[in-house]
Structure 1
Amino acid sequence: MLVRLRFWCRHGSWRRGAFAWLLAIALACACSARLVAQDIPASTNGPAAKRIAEIRFRGASLASTDPLTEYLTVKVGDPFTRAAASASIKALFATGLFSDISAETDPAPNGDVVLTFALQYRYFIGDVNLNGRPKGAPSLRQLLNATKLELGHALTDTGIKQAITQMTGVMEDNGYYESSFTYTLKKHEDSRQAEVFFHLAPGPLARVGKIEVHGESGFTQEEVESITKIKPGAKVKASDATRALERLRKKYQKRDLLEAQVTLARQSYNHDSDTVDFIFTVQRGPVVKIDVEGAKLSRGKIKRYVPVYEENAADDDLLNEGTRNLRDYYQSEGYFDVKVNYSRNRTLDNQKLDIVYNVDAGERHSLQSVDVQGNKYFPKDTIRERLSVQTATMLLTHGKFSQAMLARDVAAITALYKTNGFQDVSVKADVEDNYRGKSGDLRIVFRIDEGEQSRVHTLTVIGNLAIPTAEFQPQLSLDEGQPYSEYAVAADRDAIISYYFNRGFPNMDMKITTLPYSGDPHSMDLTYEIHEGTRVFVDRVYVYGLHYTRPGVVAKRMHVHDGDPLSQLDMLDTQRRLYDLGIFSEANVAIQDPDGTAQRRNVIFQLDEARRWTFNYGVGFEFATGSSQGSSNTPNGTTGWSPRFSFELTRLNVFGRDHTFVIKARYGKLEQRGLVSYTAPRLFAKENWRLSLTGFYDKSADVLTFTSERAEGSIQAEQVISKTWTMLYRYSYRRVNVDPTTLQIDPALIPLYSQPTRIGMPGVTVIYDRRDDPIDAHKGMYTTADIGIASTRLGSEEDFSRILVQNSSYYQFGAKHWVFARSLRIGLESPYQNSTLVPLPERFYAGGGNSLRGYSINQAGPRDQFTGYPIGGNALFVNSLELRMPPPTLPFVDDNLSFVFFHDMGNVFDTVSHMWTGLGRLHQPTIAACSQKPADGSNPPPCDYGYLAQAVGLGIRYHTPVGPVRFDIGYAINPTRYPILNDNSTSSTTRVNVFFSIGQTF
């Protein structure tokens, strides 16, 4: 005897929610009962009186490790009943894995029955793509987003039809009214994922037909076409209607028709002519005049603060909002007692509406003091940090104050106290006029009544069977004896739920009970009751979309593995790590069938590889003192700017790995450079190692004394030891050639300094970084030590050693976050063995926006006495101090502009021993001799440059997302004097130097 129980449904025929479940169950029961009644006569007991000898599954995928028997309501040995079989079918269907389920019974050898469930798996949405898109709009992303097909969700015929309907709408918006779509599916039997490929036939692009305006528009047909910029016969664009509406509204606004209503009544397509007609409807409304009486206010500010101009309506809500905006504006200008109201006067024929805002500004005030009283738990500085009202300063002459700001400050202080257990806190703000007897001066006093602090008496966690309390206890903000607040309770709830969600409990729920202890409202007993629900595990992890990338590269980035508890955190972390590779434009992750009840779920990673070849170019400029401009070259250089051009060619995904090959070129007045590099992160399969191979050619004239050409190759390995420690290991080999025709030194020395030099130098750099923000640090420390040794045994023609150490520290102080920053840089070079000097291009040079701002670019240190040009030195000492002010609130730039006062001290010294001597000198020695013209034919003594040059100055910083834009003006206190024997004269470095750059100085 054969009995069939069948529960059948296609995707899209049932919906979420309680009603859908009840309907599905009712249909299943009715269908099952009907089928069984037909197969089994009522007079016989049939298989219902027998037991189940065996349960089988037909069509189940062997790739799945999900134990299907766990979902059944029957097991081997149970009596067979129709109701139990039907319930099992419903339970299996609820997992979301199957589109068709039926049950069959066959007789067993012992007279019992064999129950077989025939399963048909459903498929889920994988990659969605499209071909056939025409050039221009719409973009591929617009079309794919319109499909609403989500990765991992069930694939249904209804969903595909809706996707085609949505994409057809997008095509019509862009003028393609004859487009058609077909699709093909590529199914993956192992994962039950299906890739959807849409094929688009766009058809012809429609043209603009008629443009009509219904209603009293006040414009001729020609004027309408001119205003809307929609011309009959032009190609239809998606933005046509929207822009036309905006242009018409703006036109009416210019005529003061602020209540004009303009709508697109119809946008109809004519199939025969392949044209689109645009029909607009206009209700002009009255001429609206908005004026301010009692105070001066520009027309531009009226439009900014009265929202009637934006909303094209003049109702009471908008006019009242304008009242509040105008009040806040005048209060921000110091008129803290301002009163604003409005009146309306509409003519009987509704042709004109006059709106007048009456402003009684009152006396202009200045906020001189903001005080906090009654605070015991928090210091005043902690409270002041949260205030938006500001006292008057030199730049903010009246301070910042308004009723809205005052209300926000009261709310901020109240929230601060409530989050720390003061549930009964009361905060009031009193505004005192005529502060200290001076008319117009104000004082604000925030009076705080803290009340009694509530604390946790006991905290009990129950219901957590799978995860001990000790595991998530560190995540909680509350504990016995700690301040109690509703904010902290909500934070604990979020922390516990997140902890469970990330360990495979997606249905976890939590109930919180709070009771006063012994009737004391400030001592609370807390109970966290946890309902863990069913734990869900990862069945399989599938990765799609790899074409050039090696699978092993992706596998090493995975934090989600087969059999792991399903964790949203691990999925997002893996997604982030995949993006960090830099070779994927998209890395989407999803749970297959997120709404199902299966205890094992597949996790799908759908990757889209980025374009492997990219080309970038740029045009910029540099501005500074001391640059080489034109033919009038002098030892100090000139002030000016230079254009800079650059391009970059990048190849990603080299050899199927996250390796990068880059070709760069830069051309400017001072420097022309070409560079080729190959970068391999994660060297030795280690996250903390990185390998770089670099070769470049550089021709630079940033040192005015000479023009050098450098060809260099280097190999560098970077090791990140910890969050603060980094090591760089490198070997560089370069050949430096100095153009003898550009050497601005004693002609007798040109043969010596113009000789080509090969330098082979291994080196090590140690970096210690504890800055809070590498781009714009406010606190912390940054230290680097770079050591290199050039040796003939390592391919070098000269033997010398080099060390450069820099230490910078940052200290934030005061309630307004002033920053004191300091930096010390010391460099030492020394020839050894048979070498007697360090090649000219390898010496230290200083001066410019990133070192000594009392000098123009590379102008510090020793000079050639014959020409007066800088020749660098073997020792470097630079000490910089900066006081970085907090950004004031200024018109137009708000708080994005700040100021810096700086002091730079140091110099370049010819030898290391002369540096130690020069550190004790604050003035140039032998300055009198350096300032006198040498007699004709005389041989004056060498000029001594061994002293600490000093400069002070002012800097401006404009803060941007990529770092501050910097403008510095430096004034040299003790500039360098030097002789020029070549023309029997003397000169001095410039006192005032200007620099423009991006990023902080250090």
Structure 2
Amino acid sequence: MNPMNSFKTFTRGAARAAVMTVAVPALAAQMSVIGATQAHADVVRNIVVQGNSRVDPETVRNYLTIEPGRNFGAAEINESVKALYGTGLFSDVKISRQGNNLVVSVKENNVVGTVRFQGNKKLKKDMLQPIIETKSRGVLTQEKLDGDVERIKEAYRRNGRSEAGVTVQTTPRDNGRIDVTFVINEGTRTGIASIDFVGNKAFSNSRLRDTMTTKRTNITSWLSKRDTFDESRFQSDQELIRRLYMRNGFADFRIVSAEANFDEAANRYRLVITVDEGPRYRFGTVNVDSSIPEVDAANLKGLVRTREGRVFNATLIERTTEDLNTAVARKGYSFAQIRPRGDRNYENHTIDLTYLIDEGPRLYVERINVRGNTRTRDYVIRREFDLSEGDAYNRVIIDKAERRLKNLGYFKTVSVTTQPGSTPDKVVIDVQVEDQSTGSFQVGGGYTTDQGGGFIASVSMTEKNFLGRGQYLKVSVGGGVDDRTANLSFTEPYFLGRRMSLGFDVFYNQAKDTDFRPYNMDSWGGTVRLGLPITDDFNVQFNYKLVQRDVTSYGSSYTQDGPIPGGNGLLPLLYPEGSWINSSVGYQLTYSTIDNLQDPHDGVFLRFAQDFAGVGGDGQFMRSIIDARYYKELWPDSGVIGFVKGGAGNITGLGKDVAVLDNFFRGGETIRGFESFGYGGRVQGVNDDYPIGGKNYWNVTAEAQFPLPLFPEEFGLRGAVFADAGSLWGSDLEGLPAGTYLQDDSTIRSSVGASIIWNSPFGLLRADFAEALTKADYDKTQVFRFSAGTQF
């Protein structure tokens, strides 16, 4: 062997021996520190905690999976480290062994002192504080701070300030506390420059934009704030567009893409939605097919809302499915599934529809998880589900609950999904919501020709989700030159935990004499009401009303010393001075399929109400009222809406005559072209005449509303043409003084005209121009009328 090679071999062997001599003890020592391998486990007598100042040592030991006197290994150490980090109390954790002791070294996270916001003017502290996780006296972590920065930015993005920037400043204090300041640069307000559509033919761009809640920036945007871009709202708008197409026959409709491009130079978003409409379908044959022997499909056919030959409407399919599901469940088949199956005929563009009723799998609801609600109470969300833990799982009921939650208006987003339960026959329902602002504050003013005319002002505060309990509260005050009003309304929609509402209304009104009302009167009172929903479309309400009227004085035709010459003493006879109380019980039946009560486009509304006065008080009568309305999109592509309204009423004395002030008084609010109190019975004296209303009335209206072509739809301006007709007559008035005459007959009054309607940030404002076509000689007419209010 080569001597040189022998020397090298010897050298390498000696080196290996030296390394092993040093490494093996060191490795053994290291193994004794970190624990044991899978083939060996260690035992310690004591657990020593180091580095803690606020956290009790026993608290640290409780999170460990290692106990003195018991074997442990690397797995237990890893689990213990993870458990301590998971508390959020520590920024660093080390575990080592020193002799018979296990040493746990920790570094505690700092505690938050005070939390401040700097630079926030548009979003106040009480709006930002609830959305952040960094709280005073809580543990300070970088993860929380990073998350809070993004949450604050998102809040500003939703309020139209996408350029907002947020930084964090920390200031150390004594005892490990750190003050946190979020420094906010709010930036300028972003808006939406354009909303464009590609591929739409059936509906115009303006019609589709009108469907969306997101609007383009205009001169009123600073009030409505509807031009702020919000990703979740943009997605909800896409669903609104899809539902518009699906209820108008476009069963194959889909949104190809929806882009939100931010133009930094203009500080505006440009939204582009590309759609594929597909053909328009009608319903072909419609059948119900049941595979359950005890369920007779023929008996269920009457519940089907879809009719052969009508335009395809996904909403009607949805409602029919729910009705069939309810009917089958009442027969004892809680696990039955109702599945609508459509067979398309692409040649004649029809869809044959069959509602299949099958016995579904026996699944039960194991748990309902509610997440994301920071303000709304859990029970407010859970009560919208017609099932609870342990009940039979039913997809139709889940879909119905999801729709109810969306319709509440409490949430920005709602998502209901299901997950497998702990066993194959159980399902977990996950409800993910995001709260949104449900309160509103409105200040309005203007000029009205109604109720005598003059300038008016109003202030109202409304909360649809009071204290997160789902309760409705509204307080309003207002008035003008001749009137003062104050109102308070409260409704609990789930009284005694059941789907029935209990509420009350309180009002006060001060009315001064005007050209049409020759007396001064203060009135106050209230209503207690109990509502019982029979179906989603039909409900019954019972009520008790107490109203006091105080006629305090008269106008220019009467003095404290008696009637002035020519007055004939009519006013004390028609409107007796003093206090008069009406105490009544009543009920109200309401059927409504209106798609949107604030901006109706389609549906039917029917209401019949009766009040029976005489439960104490002065009045003794029965008042009956009926109101019917029908809305229909005449040309959906251009946003032309047809509207037909009819109403009638009667008041009948029960054992005594009906007082004049209990009569119906009608005017321009029902037949435009007439003054307030402008038609109906009148008593004429020597120099003046006075309205006495009537015990019976009827009225009808036909109207077509359309967008004004020269104004963007975001302005909310619409035009209308209309025709009104009706009558008001009948009175129990007797014993008129000599020289006075009662003018009272059922002459038909009618008018035609045009209107400008503004759905403004202050509410619905309307200007009507009308010409009376037929009238009685003693009626009071009026060409122009301006009013403020709501549709219903």
Q: Output aligned runs, 1:874-889, within 5 Å.
A: 874-885=695-706, 887=707, 889=709
Q: 1:964 to 1:128 in 2, by over 3 A?
A: farther
Name 1:854's counterpart in structure 2.
Answer: 673
Partner of 2:766: 966
For residue 671 of structure 2, what is the amino acid of its counterpart? L
| 1:822 to 2:644 alignment | yes
The alignment status of 1:739 with 2:552, answered yes or no, reads: yes
Q: Identify the residue that residue 806 of structure 1 maps to in structure 2.
A: 627
- For residues 390 and 108 of structure 2, the distance between their equivalents in structure 1, rounded to whole angstroms, comes to 22
**Which residue matches 1:685?**
497
Q: Residue 989 of structure 1 aligns to a residue in which SS?
A: coil
CA deviation profile, 1:392-430 (whole Å, cap 9, x unmatched): xxxxxxxxxxxxxxxx99x856x516999xxxxxxxxxx
Amino acid at match of 1:783: L
Q: Which residue of 2 aligns with 1:666?
A: 478
Letter in 2 for 1:847: G
Matched, 1:863 2:725: no
In the alignment, structure 1 residue 832 sits paired with structure 2 residue 654: yes
The amino acid that maps onto 1:863 is R
What is the DSSP-based 3-state SS (H/G/I as helix, E as strand, rest coil) of the residue aligned with 1:159?
A: helix
Q: What is the aligned counterpart of 2:526 among 713, 717, 742?
A: 713
**Rounded Cα–Cα distance in structure 2 between residues aligned with 1:822 and 1:418:** 27
Q: Kindly tell me: are residues 696 and 168 of structure 1, through their superposed partners in 2, closer, same or farther at Cα, counting changes over 3 Å? A: closer
Q: Structure 1 CA distance, aligned partners of 2:62 and 2:169?
A: 46
2:725 is equivalent to residue 905 of structure 1: yes
CA RMSD after TM alignment: 7.1
Go from structure 1 to structure 2 and tell me whether the alpha carbon gap of 1:787 and 1:743 turns closer, same or farther (over 3 Å shift). farther
The aligned residue for residue 789 of structure 1 is 612
Q: CA deviation at 1:156?
A: 8.5
Shift of 1:683: 1.6
Could you say what secondary structure the match of 1:863 adopts?
Answer: strand
8 Å CA contact retained: 2:671, 2:699: yes
Q: Structure 1 pair 609/896, CA: closer, same or farther in 2 (3 Å)?
A: closer
Within 2, Cα distance between the matches of 1:61 and 1:553?
Answer: 41
1:714·1:730 contact (CA, 8 Å) conserved in 2? yes
| Kept after mapping to 2: 8 A contact 1:541/1:562 | no
- The reply on whether 1:180 has 2:171 as its aligned counterpart is yes
Partners of 1:604 and 1:180 in 2: how far apart?
40
Alignment-mate amino acid for residue 868 of structure 1: D
Of 91, 95, 115, the residue aligned with 1:131 is 115
CA shift for structure 1 position 147: 7.0
Q: Give per-residue Cα distances to partners, 1:275-321, cap 9 Å, x unaligned.
A: xxxxxxxxxxxxxxxxxxxxxxxxxxxxx99xxxxxxxxxxxxxxxx
Q: Among all aligned residue pairs of Structure 1 and Structure 2, give the percentage whose two residues are the same amino acid.
A: 14
| Structure 2 Cα separation of the partners of residues 183 and 715 of structure 1 | 58
- Compute the TM-score of the two structures, normalised by the length of structure 1: 0.43
Code of the aligned partner of 1:798: G
Where structure 1 has 5 or more consecutive residues not aligned to the other structure, the ranges are 1-30, 49-57, 69-79, 105-117, 186-196, 206-236, 247-303, 306-331, 333-377, 387-407, 421-469, 485-501, 505-536, 592-598, 629-639, 914-936, 979-987
| Distance (Å, rounded) in 1 between the aligned partners of 2:533 and 2:33 | 74
Tell me, in whole angstroms, the C-alpha distance in 2 between the residues paired with 1:590 and 1:474: 19
- The one-letter code of the counterpart of 1:947 is T
| Among 780, 783, 788, the residue aligned to 1:989 | 780
1:700, CA displacement in angstroms? 5.4
SS at match of 1:738: strand
3-state SS of the aligned residue for 2:609?
strand
Q: Secondary structure at the match of 1:684?
A: helix
Contact kept, 8 Å, 1:619 with 1:645, in 2: the verdict is yes
Q: Distance in 2 between matches of 1:818 and 1:608?
A: 34
- 1:495-894 mapped onto 2 (5 Å cutoff): 618-624=443-449, 628=452, 641-646=454-459, 664-692=476-504, 694=506, 696-699=508-511, 701=513, 703-742=516-555, 747-752=568-573, 753-756=575-578, 757-791=580-614, 794-814=615-635, 816=637, 818-833=640-655, 835-836=656-657, 838-848=658-668, 850-866=669-685, 867-885=688-706, 887=707, 889-890=709-710
Query: CA 1:615 to 1:128, structure 2 compared with 1: closer, same or farther past 3 Å?
Result: farther
Question: How many Å apart are 1:947 and its aligned residue?
Answer: 0.4
Counterpart Cα distance in 2 of 1:168 and 1:789: 56
Shift of 1:706: 2.8
In the superposition, relative to structure 1, how do residues 156 and 720 fare at CA in structure 2: closer, same or farther (>3 Å)?
A: same
Aligned counterpart for 1:35 among listed residues 27, 31, 35: 31
Which residue does 1:955 correspond to in 2? 755
Contact 2:384-2:405 within 8 A present in 1 as well: yes
Q: Give the SS at the match of 2:496.
A: helix
- Contact 2:112 2:180 (C-alpha < 8 Å) held by counterparts: no
More strand by share: 2
* Equivalent residue runs for 1:239-254 within 5 Å: none
Q: Deviations over 1:497-516 (max 9, x none)?
A: xxxxx999xxxxxxxxxxxx
- Displacement, 1:803? 0.8
Change (3 A) 1:60 1:201: closer
Rounded Cα–Cα distance in structure 1 between residues aligned with 2:131 and 2:703? 54
Distance 1:622 1:128, change over 3 A: farther
Q: 3-state DSSP class of the match of 1:821?
A: strand
Residue from 143, 150, 153 that aligns with 1:159: 143
- Is contact 1:807–1:823 with CA below 8 Å preserved after alignment? yes
Q: What's the CA shift string for 1:834-860, capped at 9, x where partnerless?
A: x23x22322111112x31102011211
CA distance in structure 1 between the aligned counterparts of 2:444 and 2:715, rounded to whole angstroms: 29
Max Rg structure: 1
Q: Unpaired segments of 5 or more residues in structure 2?
A: 1-26, 43-57, 66-70, 98-102, 155-163, 195-204, 206-244, 254-271, 283-333, 348-362, 418-425, 559-566
Question: Deviation string for 1:839-882 (max 9, x for gaps)?
Answer: 2322111112x311020112111112112232211111111111
Residues 55-85 of structure 1: CA deviation (Å, up to 9, x unaligned) = xxx999999xxxx9xxxxxxxxxxx999xx8
**Counterparts in 2 of 1:999 and 1:155: CA distance versus 1, 3 Å:** same
How far, CA to CA, are the matches of 1:661 and 1:898 in structure 2? 30
2:554 alignment partner, SS class: helix
CA offsets 1:458-495 (integer angstroms, 9 cap, x no match): xxxxxxxxxxxx999978x98898889xxxxxxxxxxx
- CA displacement at 1:962 relative to structure 2: 8.1
Contact 2:171 2:178 (C-alpha < 8 Å) held by counterparts: no
Query: Quick one: distance in 1 between partners of 2:511 and 2:475?
Result: 17
How much has 1:995 moved relative to structure 2?
2.8
Deviations 1:91-149 (A, max 9, x none): 99799978989999xxxxxxxxxxxxx99999999x99953556965854797699787
Against the structure 1 CA distance between its residues 574 and 771, is the aligned structure 2 distance closer, same or farther, given a 3 Å change threshold? closer
> Is this contact kept in 1: 2:249–2:280, CA < 8 A?
no
Q: How many residues align?
A: 566
The secondary structure found in structure 1 opposite 2:600 is coil
